[in-house]
Amino acid sequence: MLEGRFRMLRVFKSAIDSLGFINGVLYLIGRAMQALSGGRCRLIRYYLVAQPIHTPFVPACRASSLEAVHQVVKGDSLVGMFPRPDAVLESRFERGHVCLAAESKGVFAGFLWYAQGHYDEDEVHCRFVLDDPKTGVWDYDVHVEPRYRMGRTFARLWDAANERLAAAGVLWSFSRISAFNRQSLLSHQRLGIRKLESMTFFCFGPLQIALFSCKPYINLSWNGVGSPKVLVGLWQADCELGKEGRSKR
C-alpha cells in the first residue's frame, strides 16, 4: 500500500513538473475520468495560439532538391501514404482545406494542413471561426513520420507554408494545441507562437461542458447540438502583442 502511494506521488509530481500546477492537475483528473468511465468521459484542454507570418519571407532551412514540400490534392498518389482514414482525408479535400506534403528522397515524410474561413474541431464539438479569412488561416494536423522527427522535416513544412501564406498576404496562422502536450508546445514556441486563450472541455458521453477564457466563456451542448463557436481574429494576436510590449517596459 505504501509503495502504491509513493507511485501516485511520483506520477503527480511528474505531471506538475512537466505541465505546471493547473495543467498537471487537470491532466491527472482527465486520466482518472477516462479510466473510471471506460473511455466515455474525457477532459481535454487546449491553448488557442497564433503564429506570425513574416513578410518578406525568410526561410529557416536551405533549399534541398532531395527534401521537397509541395501541395497535394485529392487523388494524388502520395495521399495513399497518409496515416489517416480515407473518409477523413476526403472530407478535408471536399471542404477546400490545403495540404502540404513533405518528401525525403522520394519517400513520404510528413504533412501540414490549413483551412480558411472556419475549422470544425474533430476531437470535441467546437467551431473556430476566422473573423478575416484574407489575413488569417487555421493550421492543424502537422504530422512528421517517426524516422524524420529528428531532422528538418517539421521546419521545412513550415517554411513552405509560411512562403505560400506570406505571398497571399496572410498575417497570422491560428491553431489549437493540447495543454497536455509539452513537446508540441515547445516545438511551436520555437516558431514564435503566442498563446491567446485557453479552453477546457469536460465530455461526459453525449454531454459536453466547455469553459473558455474568451467568448462564449461557457457552453453546454448535447451530441453536438448547441456546440460552441469561437471567433478567432487578429485583434487577439495584436492584443497579446501589446501585453508583451508593456511587460518589457
Half-sphere exposure of 186 (CA within 13 A, CB side): 5
pTM (2 d.p.): 0.86
Q: Higher confidence at residue 15 or residue 124? A: 124
Report the relative pairing of strands 172-178 and 194-204 from DSSP bridges: unpaired
- Name the band, by pLDDT with cuts 50, 70 and 90, for residue 73: very high
Asked if the model's pLDDT at residue 32 lies above 50, the reply is yes
Q: Higher confidence at residue 180 or residue 61? A: 180
CATH of domain 20-248: 3.40.630.30
Across the chain, mean pLDDT equals 88
What's residue 22's pLDDT? Answer: 92
Extract the C-alpha cell encoding 20.
Answer: 505546471
What's residue 4's pLDDT? Answer: 55
Asked if the model's pLDDT at residue 207 lies above 60, the reply is yes
What's residue 182's pLDDT? Answer: 83
- Name the band, by pLDDT with cuts 50, 70 and 90, for residue 114: very high
